[in-house]
Structure 1
Amino acid sequence: MRLALFGGSFDPPHNAHLALCLYARELLKLDRLIISVSRNPFKEGFDASDSERCHMAGLLVQELNRTGNEAVLCDSELRRSQSPSYTIDMVRELALDYPGAELFLLIGEDNARGFRQWKNWQELRDKCRVVVFRRGGLQNDNSACAGEAFTSDIRFVHFDFSISSTRIRRDLAAGKECGRLLPKSIAGYIRQQGLYASSTSFPER
């Protein structure tokens, strides 16, 4: 089995997340894609609650499964008593749940730059085949991105889709229209729940 883990705070999930997952599914010939909602130890807090972020990640999974049933939502990082959560714990759990699976870890280039700050990064590197998706406009030198954290078989994938959750939250707080940056179901949920900003940021179509 070829299994990939894509974790994040998903505050909120957006079209770049959707596109990355669809691309990875085809590129890596995945049998299953795990979408794991986390408490990022490098963030001070979240604008949406754990339950809201988990619900939005579930909507992302539904969008992915419109063209196949490979994506699965995982909330075990949120259910752990410890806070924050760590990717290595999730990887160990997957190794037990899917013995013998070939495990890929999907991360963005910005996260790869700080990889040596991750908990047990050496073990994480050894247990997974790390795939780094480059964001447009960032440094294109592999060594500058990964430093000495990765072995030579690290895979770098060009992925020029420059949307970020931070940008979306900032724009929504300023009352800007952001519906085009989000899957329709997630934009609708944000509007209904009044997350991040007023519904004026999502004009009816």
Structure 2
Amino acid sequence: MNTSTKKIGILGGTFDPPHLGHLKLATHFAKVLQLDTLLLIPSGTPWQKDSLITSAEMRLRLTEAAGIDLARAFLYLNIPTQVGIDRIEIDRPGPSYAIDTAKALRERFGPQANLIWLIGADSLIKLPTWNSWDQLLSYVNFAVASRPQYDLSTELPKEITELLNKCQCVEVSALENSPFGHIYLDKSLSVDLSSTNLRNQLRDPDSQTTAFDQIPSHALEIITNLGLYK
């Protein structure tokens, strides 16, 4: 691969709130895939979530705060990946569809950039419910992390099994050498990415302290100062 080709990781989500599961996933793939840049992209209007989510601007602020902790972790671990917080979905009107973001990022970074969308196994299982999901691999690669309670060997929809037969790469180098079109299943990291459970814990005085331990310090400071998730 051309050494000047940029490898850009994309980690999207509601980030309501961002937590250590997100940072573990980001750190793992930044290291394994040797990413030049990692973009955290909070969704503007997540169409598959309920309407009770925190405002987009507040989630952006929390994501920016978590990004500080992520950048510090990279520095400490000697990972040269640059961290960026991108408001592309917040600034775009209407529902936040991954396909629109993938197209916009491909246009921004050009045809040679290696765009790698980072997701958990649960998102891979639900991929057929995404808008224009079957077009995504024309713009990006996927790197998929294991998640507790999600067994990819038994739970995959037929469409995803067929997609993996066609697009899965076993070696990470295959993913690194192609700007789009591949899926890499990483079984070495099992990470919980549920913000829903965390919000429930934050609202319960008995489990609040446990929940606080799961939130990056800069984001937690904002949450406690503003009394969010009560």
Instruction: Tell me if TM exceeds 0.5.
Output: yes
CA distance in 2, matches of 1:137, 1:116: 19
Match of 2:13 in 1: 8
Supply the RMSD in Å over aligned alpha carbons: 1.7
Partner amino acid, structure 2, of 1:51: E
Tell me whether 1:73 sits opposite 2:79 in the alignment. Answer: no
Trace 1:1-205 onto structure 2 (pairs within 5 A): 1-38=6-43, 39-66=45-72, 67=75, 68=80, 70-82=82-94, 84-99=95-110, 100-141=112-153, 144=156, 146-150=160-164, 151-153=167-169, 154-158=183-187, 159-162=189-192, 164-175=194-205, 176=207, 177=209, 178-197=211-230
CA distance in 1, matches of 2:117, 2:67: 17
Q: Contact between 1:47 and 1:196, CA under 8 Å: does it hold in 2?
A: no
Q: Contact between 1:115 and 1:149, CA under 8 Å: does it hold in 2?
A: no
Partner amino acid, structure 1, of 2:200: R
CA distance in 1, matches of 2:154, 2:39: 26
Identity, % of aligned positions: 26
Seen in structure 2, the aligned counterparts of structure 1 residues 142 and 64 have a Cα distance that, compared at 3 Å, is: farther
**Number of positions where the alignment pairs a residue of Structure 1 with one of Structure 2:** 196
The TM-score normalised by the length of structure 2 is 0.80
Query: Shift of the alpha carbon at 1:96?
Result: 1.4
CA distance in 2, matches of 1:65, 1:23: 13
Q: Secondary structure at the match of 1:181?
A: coil
CA distance in 2, matches of 1:76, 1:115: 21
Runs of at least 5 residues in structure 2 that lack an aligned partner in the other structure: 1-5, 170-182
Once structures 1 and 2 are overlaid, which stretch shifts more, 97-106 or 132-141? 132-141
Query: Shift of the alpha carbon at 1:163?
Result: 5.1
Once structures 1 and 2 are overlaid, which stretch shifts more, 33-42 or 21-30? 33-42
Runs of at least 5 residues in structure 1 that lack an aligned partner in the other structure: 198-205
Partner amino acid, structure 2, of 1:152: Q
CA distance in 2, matches of 1:131, 1:112: 10
Query: Shift of the alpha carbon at 1:69?
Result: 5.6
CA distance in 1, matches of 2:120, 2:152: 13
Q: Where do 4+ consecutive residues of structure 1 move more than 4 Å?
A: none
Q: Contact between 2:117 and 2:142, CA under 8 Å: does it hold in 1?
A: yes
